[in-house]
Chains A and B, each alone.
Chain A
Amino acid sequence: MFDSFSSKISDIFEKLRRSGILKEEDVDAALREIRIALLEADVALDVAKKFIADVKQKAIGQNVIKSISPGQMVTKIVHDHLIDLLGTASEINVNKKPFKIMLVGLQGAGKTTSAAKLARFFTKKNKKVVLTSTDIQRPAAIEQLQVLSKKIDGTLFAFPEGERDHRNISKFALKKLSEESGDILIVDTAGRLHIDDVKMNELIDMQSIIEPDEILLVADIMTGQDAINIAKRFSESLKISGIILTRVDGDARGGVALSMRALTGCPIKFLCVGERLDDIEFFDPERIAGRLLGMGDIVSLVEKAQENFSKEEAEESARKMQAGVFTFDDLANQIEKMSKLGGLKSIIKMLPQSGQLESLMASQGISDKTVTRNLAIIRSMTKKEKRNYKILNGSRRKRIAAGSGTTVQEVNKLIKQYEGTLEMMKKFRKMGGFSKIMSALGR
């Protein structure tokens, strides 16, 4: 999400580190760059301006000359200020019974999917959830939530058949909530423009009927400068208590996280990180600020990888590697797993120094495209060939190239890379295996 931003900021501080002593003009130059980076990341103009002014004030207050590493010091100031602005990691306390949540936002922000994700999130914590939708505007919006609710055990979808009035739907849901003695009510609402007074009044109306404990503003992480208008109008009209950011799995730089927090004064409570119902998590400012500053989001990557690689699979592949058995099937398996993580490009982006890695890969001709082509090559091999690459003679290679729609050169290249991997594994084994190397690196 914050990839390009983080590589930019690390470039800036790279320059600062090289310059040795931090002069005021260096700070100014760095701040100018940070301003551009913030704006390109879609941080609202006012928020970016204030951020720069605050950081400058803090930096100048410090005794920069005595500082050993001025770059690090500015990094710390920027980092701390980011954390300050982003707010604390927030848990949502739903112990009050019943606990009522209303979701609001623009069209296409991701309210309906978020409603279902929240329902899943709370049912996993053994809460009984009642879901309803007052979105009678968008065709099939009600059906969408109904279909999703069926996938979530312990969730009740409450909707009065054929009803077209948001007040009656709200009242019906409240009645169901008490009849069924549900723990949590989640109300999905129609998407609306913040400048549409009639529709905004409808929400105010619903707010007074439902008396929600939380009104969460759902916002797309890709939102541009309009975030300022959205945040202001929604938080002025309603008692917004928190933000849900959606599409965080995309590659948008996501400055809206900073903007929304600063402009509504409300905490960011959840991040939606994928299309599956389980893809929702609590907001963690450290993680996002770390990403902003080029430290990479290794935590995210690890978690994402854990979801896709089961423990057994990981142990199996480690065992195979230890034993030096690594067939083309194993390679194909790994490539597939990687594309599930979002492909090479997005994995790299989560790592520190992603900028350099990306250019290195480009210079080596490695891209998601070559990865897909390699997968096609492996799939065109026979079982026997996959297990023993040594039998791959000229005519077999020709056949594989034709079968996979690639060239013999590409097949040769892949085999060469594969041989390189085997060679590397051999060396690793001689050095005492993976675990030993990893623990050495840990020190």
Chain B
Amino acid sequence: MGIFSKIKSALQKTSEKISITITGKKFDENLAQEIEDALILVDAGVETATELAKKIADKKFPKETTDMDVKKYLADEIEKLMKPYETDFFHQDFSHAPFVILVIGVNGNGKTTTIAKIANVLKICGKKPLLVAADTFRAAAVEQLKHWSDRISVDFLCGKEKADPAGLVYSALEHAKTNGNDIVLIDTAGRMQNRSDLLDELEKIKRVIKKIDDSAPHSTILILDGITGQATHSQVETFLEKIGIDGVIVTKLDGSAKAGSLISLTRKYGIKIFAIGVGENIDDLKPFNASDYAKAIMGI
């Protein structure tokens, strides 16, 4: 199975329910309501769902329009909305050495696994990544990252148990310079967006990074769980305001969830989508494609 077909098949699992909702009906006014419901079902949120449904209601479709035409029209609209935020994380200038990547997010979103996936791609591209286990809070988080670093044979650094993560990050950046690591990937502890003390800790990590290299971190990635509903908004808002983020990676999109809140998130916060996670294997990190995503949402 090629890369592309895997994403499609992963996303298609979600679109089944939409196609069932709409297929087989002739185009009529009720369709607007059905479209709204279908969009709500993929977590697009009431506002976006109403807005897009209104587009359908307001548009003068010719008489012979089928539901498939409407879906295609809507998929185009969604694609147009999201296209500006489609960004391949790996298509950027990684030449600054060491290139520091800070990975943040709430608990259980898939930060550690995603870091391993990123490191693997960069290693294949000839880079020498260093994985830094700055999640000194969760039990065995360090071991989890260590396992991955062994599996893909990249360098790994951790501190003592319950060590100050900012201190560890400082020594990691020094270590990268002497060890010749041109990529530093920092795994941080999961934290809820309303825990101001933990966000302060993250701010401190960022300040420490800046002390060593003012241009760093060169990329701060927020990991979003594809299964999360409208709470993604407060996550993006808080992390953006407090820490600053360059883009998001959305994980667990191989299930039946579709992360429809992305449609409004990208516009509202101007946030790029760097990649999507579509499985537990090391190569299950795929570029985000607005067209595929829109089609999958509409079940085409």
List chain A positions with a Cβ less than 8 A from chain B: 36, 39-42, 45, 106-110, 137-141, 143-148, 193-195, 220, 222-226, 229-230, 246-247, 249-253, 255-256, 275, 339-340, 342-343, 345-346, 368, 372
Assess whether A194 is in contact with B227, with CB atoms less than 8 Å apart. Answer: no
Q: Is the CB of B108 within 8 A of A42?
A: no
Q: How far is the CA of A45 from the CA of B280 in the complex (A)?
A: 29
Select one of A39, A224, A275 contacting B261, CB under 8 A: A224
Residues of B within 8 A of A223 (CB): 227-229
- Flag whether B131 is at the interface (Cβ < 8 A): no
Extra pairs beyond A106-B252, A145-B139 (9, CB < 8 Å): A45-B37, A109-B108, A139-B148, A140-B147, A222-B106, A222-B228, A224-B229, A226-B258, A249-B192
Assess the B143–A251 pair: CB atoms within 8 A. no
Complex Cα gap A254–B151 (Å): 37
Binary per-residue interface labels of chain B (192-210) against chain A in the complex, 1 for a CB within 8 Å, 0 otherwise: 1111110010000000000
Chain B: minimal CB distance from A258 (Å) = 12
From 171 to 186 in chain B, residues with beta carbon under 8 angstroms from any chain A beta carbon are none
Instruction: Compute how far the CA of A256 lies from the CA of B231 in the bound complex, rounded to whole angstroms.
Output: 12
Closest residue on chain A to residue B254 by CB atoms: A193
Residues of chain B within 8 A (CB-CB) of A343 are 194-197
Number of A-B contacts (CB under 8 A): 153
Find chain A residues with CB under 8 A from B227 CB: 106, 220, 223-224, 226, 230
Q: Find A137's partner among B107, B193, B280 (CB 8 Å cutoff).
A: B280
What CA separation (Å) do A340 and B228 show in the bound complex?
26
**Given A40-B46, A339-B196: A144 touches B230 (CB 8 Å cut-off):** no
The secondary-structure label for the interface of chain B is loop
B41, B141, B195, B254: the one contacting A45 at CB < 8 Å is B41
Name which residue of chain A comes closest to B43, CB basis.
A224
**Closest B residue to A42 using CB positions:** B229
Q: Is B8 an interface residue (CB 8 A)?
A: no
Most central of B106, B148, B192 by chain A CB within 10 Å: B192
Tell yes or no: B55 within 8 A of A by CB: no
Q: How far is the CA of A249 from the CA of B195 in the complex (A)?
A: 9
Partner of B46, one of A39, A140, A246, A345: A39
In whole angstroms, how far apart are the Cα atoms of A390 and B144 in the complex? 55
The answer on a CB contact under 8 Å between A140 and B261 is no
Asked if B290 is an interface residue, CB under 8 A from chain A, the answer is no
Q: A106-B255, A247-B192 are in contact. Are A220 and B225 (CB under 8 A)?
A: yes
Query: A140 contacts which of B107, B143, B255 (Cβ < 8 Å)?
Result: B143
Provide a sorted-by-A list of 7 A–B residue pairs whose CB atoms are within 8 angstroms.
A143-B144, A222-B231, A224-B259, A224-B261, A226-B258, A250-B106, A343-B197
Contact A108 B252 (CB under 8 A): yes
Q: Is the CB of B40 within 8 A of A143?
A: no
Q: Do residues A147 and B46 form an inter-chain contact, with CB atoms below 8 A? A: no
B231 touches A252 (CB 8 A): yes
A367 to B, closest residue via Cβ: B196
C-alpha spacing A36/B139, complex, angstroms? 40
> Closest Cβ of chain B: how far from A37's Cβ, in Å?
9
Contact partners of B13 in chain A: CB under 8 A: 195
B132 on interface, CB distance cutoff 8 Å = no
Asked if residues B108 and A110 are in contact (CB atoms below 8 Å), the reply is yes
Contact partners of A346 in chain B: CB under 8 A: 194, 196
A109 to B225, CA, bound (A): 10
Tell whether B146 is near chain A: CB-to-CB under 8 Å. Answer: yes
Contact present for A139 and B144 (CB under 8 Å): yes
Q: Max chain A CB contacts within 10 Å: which of B106, B194, B231?
A: B231
Distance in angstroms between the alpha carbons of A270 and B258 in the assembled complex: 28
Residues of A within 8 A of B37 (CB): 45
> Shortest Cβ distance from B59 into chain A, in angstroms?
24
Q: Which of A39, A220, A275, A342 touches B40 (beta carbons < 8 Å)?
A: A39
Neighbour of B139 across the interface among A147, A193, A255, CB < 8 A: A147
- When C-beta atoms are compared, the residue in chain A nearest to B137 turns out to be A275
Flag whether B98 is at the interface (Cβ < 8 A): no
**Nearest B-chain residue to A49, judged by Cβ:** B37
Distance, CA A253 to CA B110, complexed state (A) = 22
Given known A-B contacts A107-B110, A139-B148, A224 and B252 have beta carbons under 8 A apart: no
Within the complex, the shortest CB–CB distance from A269 to chain B, in Å, comes to: 20
